[in-house]
Amino acid sequence: MLIDGHNRVVDYLRISVTERCNFRCQYCMPEKPFSWVPHENLLSFEDMFEFVKVAIDEGIKKIRLTGGEPLLRHGLVQFVKLIHDYAPNIDLAITTNAFLLEETAQSLKDAGLKRLNISLDSLKPEVAKQIAQKDVLDKVLKGIHKANSIGLGIKINCVPLKGINDSEIIDLLEYCKKNNWEIRFIEFMENSHASVKQGLSSDEMQEIISKKYKFTKGKRVGSSPSQTYILEDGYKFGIIEPHKDDFCSDCNRIRITAEGYLIPCLYFEDALSIADAIKQKDIKEASNILKKVLKNKPEKNKWGSENQSNRAFYETGG
Ligand code: SAM
Ligand code: SF4
């Protein structure tokens, strides 16, 4: 079992397989083009899998593949299969913008994937285009419905932004309710890479929803970052509330970047690389580094503090 320096069990690994993305979401990426980490600096999927095995053997029970946009990385389906075949009971999921999902959903399912979290910030083509800075909605919806039709589990993520898509909170909720998907609204997390500056607080989102629906607060499920709310007819939606004080208290996550840096917490600068250890097939050292990083996991995120990390969400995987 993996335990961090504050006695929290860590059993959830988020793997960013690429920082590259085919979208430029205003809340995540800068508007101006910038250079990516060169391909040769990325950990190969074979090497990443060596680390995944260490992590699973040490106690990781849940793995999420994210990015950047994970479906952009060549070899992802085989990587899913490697993980699934090694640990069929692992809770394995992908977070994606769904742009390439229509063509990849079936092979991901065949490789063992069970569920997806999909970003959907608007149901209006022009608004989706404004946020992603690309005409995306039609392909995104086709991707989501394809995945749904073949039985992949779906949760929708949405980041409401002031004056951009906040008028669509009810429409998005109803669209997901109609399709029987949980939607999770995420409070915008401030970062220096985003070109928008203001999201909605959980209270503001709840106020909007309460104008049309009565709902109650549900129990927090396990270490999920999402607070559940329940409509009168039983439909559940979530709000991810990182600005709330108790958000970090039962954090069970650790992240690894596509280059092999283990990051104990978003907004936390100190990270250690497992790349050399893995390339040298030094599994013991990789396991030691994992434990060192966990020991160093801060009790609370470092938002607003002096040593807040400037790492981007597309690098850490959100
Ligand atoms: N490209 C994939 C996607 O968009 O779903 C996966 C990577 S993305 C970085 C992972 C998650 O981070 C998405 O749900 C996205 O909405 C969220 N995210 C990105 N920037 C954010 C921000 N500034 N505040 C809150 N959530 C953010
Ligand atoms: Fe790309 Fe996801 Fe960031 Fe949007 S949120 S720019 S889709 S990585």
| Alpha carbon of 205 to ligand 2 centroid (Å) | 22
Q: What is the pLDDT of residue 36?
A: 83
For the CA of 121, the nearest atom of ligand 1: 16
| Alpha carbon of 97 to ligand 2 centroid (Å) | 7
Q: What is the pLDDT of residue 15?
A: 97
Which of the ligands is closest to the CA of residue 267? 1
Domain 12-316 in CATH: superfamily?
Aldolase class I (3.20.20.70)
Q: What is the pLDDT of residues 201-250, one digit of tens each?
A: 999 999 999 999 999 999 877 777 889 999 999 999 999 988 876 677 78
300 close to 248: Cβ distance less than 8 angstroms: yes
Which of the ligands is closest to the CA of residue 66? 1
How confident is residue 308, by pLDDT bands cut at 50, 70 and 90?
Answer: low
Does the beta carbon of 186 lie inside 6 Å of ligand 1?
A: yes
Q: What is the pLDDT of residue 210?
A: 98
Can you give the pTM of this predicted structure?
0.94
| Alpha carbon of 28 to ligand 1 centroid (Å) | 7
> Ranked by mean pLDDT, which of 174-188, 210-224, 235-249, 294-308 comes out on top?
174-188
- Ligand 2 pocket list (CB less than 6 A): 21, 23-25, 28-29, 67-69, 97, 119, 314
224 vs 46 pLDDT, higher one: 46
Q: What is the pLDDT of residue 302?
A: 61
